[in-house]
């Protein structure tokens, strides 16, 4: 996934895989991918494998409920960085 992602990014964009984010006053957070465009900002991406589905507000991977929905995982990382604007 990382190789395909980095090959497909526009010139000047950057990507990191499994990046642990630390910020004062917040617990450590980890995200699958961080993509940065110096002109636009940062995107946190959670990648799931297998059969992924959402039912009644709960997320499942291969029929097993995920501990946290993917969006919540990405938001947790962005909240560890209070200077980052969050978009829904």
- Per-residue pLDDT tens digits of the chain, which is 88 residues long: 888 888 899 999 999 998 777 656 656 677 888 899 999 888 888 888 889 999 998 999 999 998 888 878 777 766 665 455 445 4
Strand partners, 41: 37
Would the pTM count as exceeding 0.75?
no
Q: Are strands 26-37 and 14-23 parallel, antiparallel or unpaired?
A: antiparallel
CA 77, 82, 84, 88 torsion: positive or negative?
Answer: positive
Beta bridge partners of 61: 52, 64
* Cα–Cα distance for residue pair 52/64, rounded to 1 Å: 9
Q: How far, in Å, CA of 42 to CA of 60, rounded?
A: 27
């Amino acid at each position: 996934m990382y190789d395909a992602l980095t090959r497909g990014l526009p010139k000047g964009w950057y990507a990191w895989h499994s990046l642990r984010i630390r910020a004062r006053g917040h617990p450590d957070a980890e995200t699958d991918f961080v993509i940065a465009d110096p002109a636009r900002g940062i995107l946190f991406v959670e990648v799931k494998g297998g059969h992924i589905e959402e039912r009644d507000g709960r997320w499942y991977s291969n029929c097993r409920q995920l501990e946290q929905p993917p969006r919540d995982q990405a938001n947790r990382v962005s909240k560890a960085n209070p200077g980052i604007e969050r978009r829904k």
